[in-house]
């Protein structure tokens, strides 16, 4: 026998044994992405909660608050800000951590909720009245300021301190270029 036939016999046997087994079937599985930040013990809560502040423990970047919701008392942490004791606040998104150790206070909280945004009970009342859903507009009218600017062209324009001037009389600005500047205070 030559060497070629000796090599062909094992290859032929492997092919024959592979054909007898049939195709492999794989059970379907779901692909879930696990975040390095959260563990399997973390719980995310998106309900609106009304709480009353019982105790305040400040830290460098955060403030730890012992709060009461209905009859339950628990700890929350949020970005450092001014918090009033015995005041009512609301929060919506929170992440539950168990056995959380605060390195600054050298203290372990059995469970603590990390709150994204804490808002006061009076949040937004200075922008709307209770009688209507329309925003309150100040009654004192401010006159426009005449501004002249020299550059490549001699440009003259008026600066109105409030956008209400445009909204109250849009025909006054017909055929003119209008530029509005501002900042978003609530999304």
Could you tell me if 115 and 154 lie in one domain? no
* Residue scoring higher pLDDT (124 or 180): 180
Residue 178 contacts residue 166 (beta carbons within 8 Å): yes
What was the pLDDT predicted at 129?
Answer: 45
Residue 143: strand, helix, or coil: coil
Residues 6 or more apart from 170 whose CB is under 8 A from it? none
* Residue scoring higher pLDDT (149 or 4): 4
Residue 61 contacts residue 6 (beta carbons within 8 Å): no
CA–CA separation, 53 and 56 (whole Å): 8
CATH number of the domain encompassing residue 93: 2.40.50.140
**Percentage of residues in the chain with pLDDT exceeding 70?**
65
pLDDT band (50, 70, 90) for residue 75: very high
Evaluate whether residue 97 is within a structural domain: yes
Residues 6 or more apart from 85 whose CB is under 8 A from it? 53, 54, 55, 56
Q: Torsions phi, psi of 6, nearest 5?
A: -70, -40
Could you tell me if 53 and 96 lie in one domain? yes
pLDDT band (50, 70, 90) for residue 14: confident
The pTM (predicted TM-score) of the whole model is: 0.46
Q: Whole domain around residue 98: which residue ranges?
A: 43-120
Residues 170-181: tens digit of each pLDDT:
888 777 777 777
pLDDT band (50, 70, 90) for residue 66: very high
Evaluate whether residue 86 is within a structural domain: yes
Average pLDDT over all residues of the chain: 74
Per-residue pLDDT, averaged over 27-53, amounts to 63
pLDDT band (50, 70, 90) for residue 52: very high
Evaluate whether residue 150 is within a structural domain: yes
pLDDT higher than 50, residue 116: yes
Q: How far is CA 86 from CA 44, 53, 152, 179, 181, in A?
A: 26, 5, 60, 46, 39
Domains contained in the chain, number: 2
């Amino acid at each position: 026998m030559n060497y070629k036939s000796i090599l062909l016999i094992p290859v032929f046997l492997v092919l024959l044994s592979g054909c007898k087994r049939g195709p492999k079937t794989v059970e379907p599985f779901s692909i879930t992405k696990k975040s390095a930040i959260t563990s399997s013990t973390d719980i995310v809560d998106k309900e609106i909660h009304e709480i009353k502040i019982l105790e305040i423990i400040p830290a460098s970047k955060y403030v730890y608050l012992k709060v009461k919701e209905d009859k339950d008392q628990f700890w929350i942490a949020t970005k450092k800000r001014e918090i009033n004791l015995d005041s009512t606040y609301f929060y919506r998104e929170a992440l539950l951590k168990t056995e959380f150790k605060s390195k600054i206070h050298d203290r372990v909280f059995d469970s603590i909720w990390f709150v994204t945004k804490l808002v006061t009970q009076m949040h937004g009342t200075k922008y709307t009245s209770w009688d209507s859903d329309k925003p309150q507009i100040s009654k004192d009218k401010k006159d426009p300021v005449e501004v002249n600017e020299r550059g490549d062209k001699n440009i003259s324009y008026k600066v109105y301190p409030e956008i209400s001037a445009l909204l109250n009389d849009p025909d006054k600005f017909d055929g003119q270029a209008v530029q509005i500047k501002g900042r978003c205070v609530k999304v």
